[in-house]
Amino acid sequence: MLKHLAILGSTGSIGTQTLDIVRAYPDRFSVYALTANTSIDRLIEQAREFNPVAVCIADETYYEPLKEALKDTDIKVWAGSDSISQIVTASDIDIVVAAMVGFAGLRPTIAAIEAGKTIALANKETLVVAGEIIERLAVKHHTAILPVDSEHSAIFQCLTGEEPSSIEKILLTASGGPFRQFTTDQLQTVTAQQALKHPNWQMGNKITIDSATMMNKGFEVIEAKWLFGVEYDQIEVLVHPQSIVHSAVQFSDGSVKAQLGCPDMRLPILYALTYPERTESRLPRIDWLKTNNLTFEQADTQRFPCLRLAYEAIAKGGNMTCILNAANEVANLKFRQGKCCFPQIAYIIEHTMQQAAYEPQPTLEHLFLTDLQARQIADSISL
């Protein structure tokens, strides 16, 4: 049966790779809606190729140019963040691929859950900021949330057919990023250009910097807690530079199941879109005769304190993970803009966590206020 997709963030890394899957399986998937933030040229190109029912540009200043560019088509053109939340509720949509970057992905993901859509979740900030609320809404609306991150897809696959109570430990793997072997002194002078050269994965700029600081792995620890119903201290991060073992689960009898594959995001995307099936693909295979050096290291939270801060935030609970995320988005951007050095990313986040108002049982409205306050604090911290 043809599945109709709404791809939120279609011009980003996950969005474009999702469209690669659509190209490869035209008899399995069709595109109902595409959304982007500001990348109008790529959105126009995608719209002309995939002919969706609707497109939406979050930045309303691009509405008229987008409408003009598609005036010879039947595609409906929308604009504004509220419009994205409206689009995902369309009755014909089967799966919403939540690939928007950052806090902006929260509202449309909630709207899709409340509309009962299956969620292929790549926007990790949704669970980082509002994991408890999302979990509650998903149960209430009988909504399936299928992980797209390679690590969480791996864990999901390892847990198929297993009793949740048998989980002893989740082993969350990390590549270590481009600075894995750098000293503390060397990290003082690294540039955004260096940080954006990830050794294994092709990702968007924001998440690539998060990978370099290991905040991305911290976010994944928080995600795993909510996705798989475990405590944060049951999740161990292992640095695995080869990115072949995407993650593993250790069970109460001592056995371990791991999911392995080439570092290609199209594989977990395909699995999320076709679950519970496994679909034949032409994606890269592991060459086992050349895969003879799989290594694992302990994560270093001294050189990469963002991972420590993520554990501290989830241990504190409440709105602290929202504060963590907001401060990280500000600090990440400052680094990319050359306004702070690499170690100051963690400095900004830690001081924001100390200064922002803590709320132990936040509502959704609390979280939006927290996000705003934390961004203001992070932006004002003297360096």
Sorted by sequence, the CB contacts under 8 Å of residue 337 that are 6+ apart come out as: none
CA contacts within 13 A on the Cβ side of 309: 27
CA dihedral 308, 311, 315, 319 (to 10 degrees): 100
Domains of the chain: 3-147 (3.40.50.720), 152-316 (no CATH), 317-383 (1.10.1740.10)
pLDDT score for 198: 80
Which two three-digit tokens encode residue 349?
Answer: 């986040």
Identify the helix (H) or strand (E) that includes residue 254.
none
pLDDT score for 199: 75
pLDDT score for 102: 86
pLDDT score for 14: 95
Burial of 306 per CB tally in 10 Å (0-12, 13-18, 19+): buried
Compute mean pLDDT per 10 residues along the chain, 383 residues long, and list them.
Answer: 96 96 97 97 98 97 97 97 96 97 92 97 94 96 96 97 96 94 96 87 85 96 97 97 96 98 95 96 94 94 97 97 97 97 98 98 96 98 91
